Structure 1
Amino acid sequence: MATERKHLLYFLTTETQPSPFDINMAYDAGFHAVIPYGGVNEESAVLLVQDIIFSRGPKGAKFSALFIGGNDIDSAERVRQAAAKSMFPPFQVSMMIDPKGSYTTAVALVAKAEKALGGLRGKQVAIPGGTGPVGIVAATLCVKLGAEVIIGSRQLSGVERLAQRLSAQTGGSVKGAAMATDEDKISHLRSADVILTTGKAGIQMISEAVLNALPSGKLVADVNAVPPTGIHNLAPNDDLKEVVPGIRGIGALAVGVLKYDVEIEMLETIRTSEKCVVLDETKALEIAQRRLSV
């Protein structure tokens, strides 16, 4: 007697310890089981994927899926490429990539800003503390949507190298700037239409003094829900609330609701798709934009 096929998600991450966050979300998205593997690299990914695709046969492929995660975007992307190259018809399973939630978080942050302003084309977007995964992905997405981007960091040399690399990759305008002090931030943020803070949790990136020195009409948005939030007077649940007169803000939980919805939809898609699909930040942005247009 044949048994019912179970939907299995194989969570391959470059981190030593797989994230409980993504495991929990995968179960909430309907997978019967989530099998995590930590410390995965390109070589081990090939071996794991071969066992995954061959063990269930061509008819069982649609019941298996891959989630690629990790702290480092470049390492996770190499694992994704290795996994993709290991598959061939009819031995293919659906796959998504979201390293440490950076793709879905950045997508939600950028999509909320885009919606609030009616588009980002021709806008200047500043990302203080933008050298981490979320900031890098957000910068890339903003450029693709037609914005000019300036990334801020305490160290000028490092952020300039990052900006040059992102400019070359996207063919757009990405600049790096030193933003170690309030004075630095004020001078670089005056001309920005949008300010996105993507720094470490519990670190305030934009102080009251900086906000009060900026001209009105700006939009600020944050991904840090741990007190203190990344922007003065911006609560996590705020959604287009004024933080100072003339400057509206989007808080981390307002961003997080969309991030959650996007990731759940991506997980449900790779679970239910009859054909092999590969979901990345580009597809995630399409989902976020569609959800905000409803």
Structure 2
Amino acid sequence: MTKKLLFQFDTDPTPSVFDVVVGYDGGADHITGYGNVTPDNVGAYVDGTIYTRGGSEKKSTAIFVGGGDMAAGEAVYDAVQKRFFGPFRVSTMLDSNGSNTTAAAGVALAVKALGGDVKGKRAVILAGTGPVGMRSAAMLGKEGATVAIVGRALDKAQKAADNIEKRFGVKVEAVEAKSGDDRAKAVSGANLVFSAGAIGLELLAEDVWKSEASIEIVVDYNAQPPLGIGGIDAMDKAKERHGKLALGALGLGGLKLKLHRTLIGKLFEAADQSFDADEIYALAKEMA
């Protein structure tokens, strides 16, 4: 029986242990990881995957692009795709920093909790300039929500908004918020509030969101206390709090992991599949 081989191209110096474990749990028979992968050196790695197997065996080779930097991962992923031609290709997946699967799980569960339709609703993403925040903004925007990403510096937030529009064709508002008071103003009138900040920083106090009548759901991607949104629990899964719904990192984590594993399995179903944000989010919605 042909072994299912997964080649992990990581933009960080050392390939992610998390991605290796999930890769095996997703059905790979063997995983080979390479660190410090760049668009300049990835070509030789890709050649090794596309010239060694043919026919029905080719689907048993796949590529996973990861690492902590989504911009770097996107550049490598694009370089991989450009290396393919004709039948000389294998299935690929991009999930730098877990951004695609994490954002897809969070947005899919939030949209489901709100009845499956967020068209015209206002979504605000605190600390939205990072990979998970930017992917969440794009997915919400494509669902028809009006989206704002909040950052400490307006130029960085605007750069992130511009990148989202260029990559996904979705217009996103950039908002500067340097303090808790600024963030409270930013979520005024919002229907959905996401927190995608770094570990160890509360971005929104419980008193702020519980008293904002417009807010229908709060979503926090941080599992380690203090959480980004005060007054919720990491295990919350559309739990009602103060008349609103709360979704915590561990509450959405089950879908994130199941989604990641399922995608690994799908890589080996055919030799020409590509899983980036759009494809991953579509599957998340089916699984939510």
TM-score by length of 1: 0.92
SS in 2 for 1:43: coil
Mark the runs of 5 or more structure 2 residues left unpaired by the alignment. Answer: none
C-alpha distance in 1 between matches for 2:210 and 2:250: 24
- Is 2:88 the counterpart of 1:91? yes
SS in 1 for 2:133: helix
Pairwise mapping of residues 55-94 of structure 1 onto structure 2 (< 5 A)? 55-94=52-91
- Is 2:42 the counterpart of 1:45? yes
Look up the equivalent residue of 1:286 and give its one-letter code: A
- Is 2:236 the counterpart of 1:238? yes
C-alpha distance in 2 between matches for 1:55 and 1:164: 40
C-alpha distance in 1 between matches for 2:8 and 2:227: 31
Pairwise mapping of residues 1-294 of structure 1 onto structure 2 (< 5 A)? 4-118=1-115, 119-215=117-213, 217-243=215-241, 245-271=242-268, 273-292=269-288
C-alpha distance in 2 between matches for 1:212 and 1:84: 46
Cα deviation, residue 132, structure 1: 0.5
Cα deviation, residue 212, structure 1: 4.1
Cα deviation, residue 282, structure 1: 0.9
C-alpha distance in 1 between matches for 2:50 and 2:146: 43
Query: Please, what is the CA RMSD of the aligned residues?
Result: 1.6
SS in 2 for 1:42: coil
TM-score by length of 2: 0.94
Look up the equivalent residue of 1:277 and give its one-letter code: Q
C-alpha distance in 2 between matches for 1:85 and 1:120: 36
C-alpha distance in 2 between matches for 1:91 and 1:76: 22
Instruction: Flag the 1:122–1:291 CA change in 2: closer, same or farther, 3 A.
Output: same
Cα deviation, residue 55, structure 1: 2.6
C-alpha distance in 2 between matches for 1:181 and 1:115: 31
C-alpha distance in 2 between matches for 1:202 and 1:128: 14
C-alpha distance in 2 between matches for 1:198 and 1:106: 9
Look up the equivalent residue of 2:287 and give its one-letter code: R
Cα deviation, residue 217, structure 1: 4.6
Look up the equivalent residue of 2:236 and give its one-letter code: D
Look up the equivalent residue of 1:218 and give its one-letter code: E
